[in-house]
Amino acid sequence: MAVVRVFAKFLPAALVGFARKLRFPNLFLLVLGLFVVDLILPDFIPFIDEILLGLGSLLLAAWKQRGSKS
């Protein structure tokens, strides 16, 4: 939760509250931060778009597994 505490200083309380309810709040805030930096400085980090898409896919895959109980 260290990332959540650091980002809590800069983000609105509603967004931090939403992140705390997620299964992976640190991953969400890290991806959010990288996305904002990528929007402000395009191609500052090469291939960040592909990395974010991969992290999003992993997040959705983990979310799907969590809900299914076999």
Q: Which tens digits make up the pLDDT trace of 2-22?
A: 666 776 677 777 777 777 787
Confidence (pLDDT) at 65:
47
Q: Tell me how far apart the alpha carbons of residues 18 and 29 are, in angstroms, rounded to a whole number.
A: 10
Q: Tell me how far apart the alpha carbons of residues 36 and 41 are, in angstroms, rounded to a whole number.
A: 9
> Whole-model pTM?
0.54
Q: At what angle do helices 48-67 and 25-40 cross, to 10 degrees?
A: 160
Q: Which two tokens stand for residue 58?
A: 């992993």
Cβ distance 56 to 24 under 8 Å?
Answer: no
Residue, of 51 and 43, whose pLDDT is higher: 51
